[in-house]
């Protein structure tokens, strides 16, 4: 589904929005780095309207002792600091996993034009408050594997230790 954010300066841009496989791949690398640091492996990148990356970050609430240290929030804050404006109109946020409600709302308030993600949250996903792009299937398996690899041992159901 692709719908443009009416709050974004790009709302009147007639060009179709295309999922960006390169942005998702970079977000996947950031997710892997977060996972290697024992954070939940989620990565995000924020690009401006010209495709330039303003931020590429992974989840980091544990290491930064920051309850809102989600990859998306970090990407928004880093990009805002870089451009010197909390409004990031015309930008595109790409995340490996569908953002939580807090991150969707923050992206909306920052005037992000679109949010793209590799895979959906599995249950109880609220209706997003900002337009979304769901990626093609090319990276879904990798992202799902990374999250499963991270969470299975914590749930005590690691396949390596099954009888
Ligand atoms: Zn979040």
DSSP states of the chain: -----TTSGGGG--SPP---HHHHHHHHHHHHHHHHTTS---EEEEE-TTS-EEEEEE--HHHHT-TT--HHHHHHHHHHHHHT-S--TT-EEEEEEPPPHHHHHHHHHTT-SEEEEEE--SS-PPPPSS-EEE--TTTHHHHHHHHHHHHHHHTT--GGG--
Active site residue 127: no
Which residue is catalytic, options 18, 39, 72, 152? 72
Q: How far is the CA of 124 from the centre of ligand 1 (A)?
A: 14
Q: How far is the CA of 89 from the centre of ligand 1 (A)?
A: 20
Q: What is the predicted pLDDT for the residue at 79?
A: 97
Residues, beta carbon < 5 Å, ion ligand 1: 70, 100, 103
Q: What is the predicted pLDDT for the residue at 31?
A: 95
Contacts of 40 (CB under 8 A, 6+ apart): 34, 59, 147, 150
Q: What is the predicted pLDDT for the residue at 120?
A: 81
Q: What is the predicted pLDDT for the residue at 149?
A: 83
What are the residue ranges in the chain where pLDDT is below 70?
Answer: 1-19, 122-138, 156-163
Q: How far is the CA of 110 from the centre of ligand 1 (A)?
A: 14
Q: What is the predicted pLDDT for the residue at 5?
A: 53
Q: How far is the CA of 70 from the centre of ligand 1 (A)?
A: 5
Q: How far is the CA of 143 from the centre of ligand 1 (A)?
A: 16
Q: How far is the CA of 162 from the centre of ligand 1 (A)?
A: 32
């Amino acid at each position: 589904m692709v719908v443009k954010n009416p709050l974004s300066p790009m709302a009147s841009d007639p060009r179709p929005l295309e999922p960006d496989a390169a942005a998702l791949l970079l977000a996947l690398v950031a997710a892997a780095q977060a996972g290697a640091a024992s954070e939940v492996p989620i990565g995000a990148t924020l690009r401006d309207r010209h495709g330039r990356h303003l931020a590429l970050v992974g989840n980091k609430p544990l290491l930064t002792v920051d309850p809102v240290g989600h990859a998306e929030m970090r990407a928004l804050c880093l990009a805002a600091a870089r451009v010197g404006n909390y409004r990031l109109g015309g930008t595109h946020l790409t995340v490996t996993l569908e953002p939580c409600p807090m991150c969707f709302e923050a992206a909306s308030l920052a005037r992000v034009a679109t949010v793209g993600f590799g895979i959906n949250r599995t249950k109880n996903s609220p209706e997003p408050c900002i337009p979304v792009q769901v990626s093609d299937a090319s990276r879904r398996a990798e992202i799902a594997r990374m999250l499963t690899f991270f969470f299975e041992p914590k749930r005590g159901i690691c396949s390596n230790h099954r009888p």
